[in-house]
Amino acid sequence: MDRLPPLNAIRAFEVVARRLSITVAAEELHVTPGAVSRQVRTLEDALGLQLLVRGHRQITLTRAGEEYYRGVTKAMDALRDATSRLTRRTRRTQLKIRAYTTFAMRWLIPRLSSFHAANRGIEVLLTASLDPVDFRREDIDGAIRLGDGKWPDVNTYRLVSNVLTPVCSPALATAVRKAGDLQRQVLLHSIARPDDWAFWLAASKAEGEVDSRSGMTYQSSAMAYAAALEGQGFAIAQRFLVEDDLASGKLVAPFRKVVDMGDFTYYLLTPSDRKESPSMATFRKWLLAQFGESADS
């Protein structure tokens, strides 16, 4: 016999043979006892063999029934194992991460594909906000924040050394040789980081020559960087966020002077009152590895 009997009939027989009761089998299968009896008879007709001896109050297996039950049980177990392996492999875990818009757009999103490729079972739900994170009230697994690393009730992992440097398009780079030359150029600002130009100009001893508040202002650093890419002026950039554009030549850093922000940089934050999930641990180790940091730092 090359064709398999109906699978519903095989399933009904497996439950009856295991339970030795049509009534109990019907309860497990959520059908009527009559439906179970019909399925078993369909199987017996298909096989041309009697599988059950139906007594008044008892069901017993014939020799053929016992042999068939052993084979069906092995097949069912193999099917369950295959299903379990497949669902474990394909079941996705959602990981909720919050970051600043500029960090997400300029650094994290371009690299997330490598995380997804290596961790198919983890789905990162990425949101952006400047607001402080409260792990006790919000359903968030981890947050990437800018600060001095001193937040209460969280685990902190330092990500990167953050330095400030002016950047511009290659065409504008020839217009400046020293910091004071910026007085004739358009400075691009971010509302989120209003003091960056003042920090850099003071470190370059050009604060008296250049008005740090002049120029154009955007809601985020990402917008200011986009304006710089379009040749609209000079943005004061967190260098690691524009490193790809500097490497490709789309942006130029025309001055050697940089301002190191020290401990005021980006950190990964996780709640200290929760046990770290396996998916969060995987993301943390991946994120730190991208910056060349130790996963236990």
Residue 174, pLDDT score: 94
Is the domain of 167 the same as that of 256?
Answer: yes
Cα separation values, 66 from 24, 46, 94, Å: 19, 17, 46
Q: What pLDDT does residue 56 have? A: 76
Q: Say yes or no: 187 and 268 in one domain.
A: no
Same domain (yes/no): 217, 271: no
State whether residue 144 is helix, strand or coil: strand
Among 33, 50, 42, CA closest to 10: 42
DSSP, res 184:
G
Q: Report yes or no: 15 and 51 within 8 Å, Cβ to Cβ.
A: no
Statement to judge: residues 168 and 237 lie in one domain: yes
Question: How far lies 277's CA from each of 50, 74, 206, 284, in Å?
Answer: 53, 35, 49, 10
Task: Verify that 150 and 272 share a domain, yes or no.
Answer: yes
Distance of CA 88 to the CA centre of its chain: 17
For the beta sheet containing 142-147, the strands, ordered from the edge strand earlier in sequence to the opposite edge, are 122-128, 93-99, 142-147, 265-271, 154-158
Question: Where among 61, 89, 117 does a domain terminate?
Answer: 89
Helix (H, G, I), strand (E, B) or coil at 187: strand
- What integer pLDDT is reported at residue 91 of this predicted model? 56
pLDDT for res 294: 44
Identify the domain containing residue 227 by its residue range. 163-260
| Domain end call among 42, 58, 89 | 89
Residue 2 lies in a domain: no
Same-domain status, 59 and 173: no
What is the 3 state secondary structure string of 236-285? EEEHHHHHHHHHHCCCECCCCCCEECCCCEEEEEEECCCCCCHHHHHHHH
For residue 267, the domain's CATH number is 3.40.190.10
Q: Are residues 137 and 267 in the same domain?
A: yes
Structural domain count of the chain: 3
Per-residue pLDDT tens listing for the chain (297 residues): 567 899 999 999 999 999 999 999 999 899 999 999 999 999 999 999 999 998 877 889 999 999 999 999 999 888 887 876 776 555 568 999 999 999 999 999 999 999 999 998 899 999 999 888 989 888 899 999 999 999 999 999 999 999 999 999 999 999 999 999 999 999 999 999 999 999 999 999 998 899 999 999 999 999 999 999 999 999 999 999 999 999 999 999 999 999 999 999 999 999 998 899 999 999 999 999 999 854 444
Strand order in the sheet with 234-238: 216-218, 187-190, 234-238, 163-167, 259-260
> Are 152 and 274 in the same domain?
yes
Look at the block and give the residue holding tokens 């030549």: 249
Asked if residue 220 lies in contact with residue 247, where contact means CB atoms within 8 angstroms, the answer is no
Asked whether residue 122 is assigned to any structural domain, the reply reads yes
CA distance 99 to 105: 10
Query: Tokens for 265?
Result: 């940089």
Domain assignment present for residue 295? The answer is no
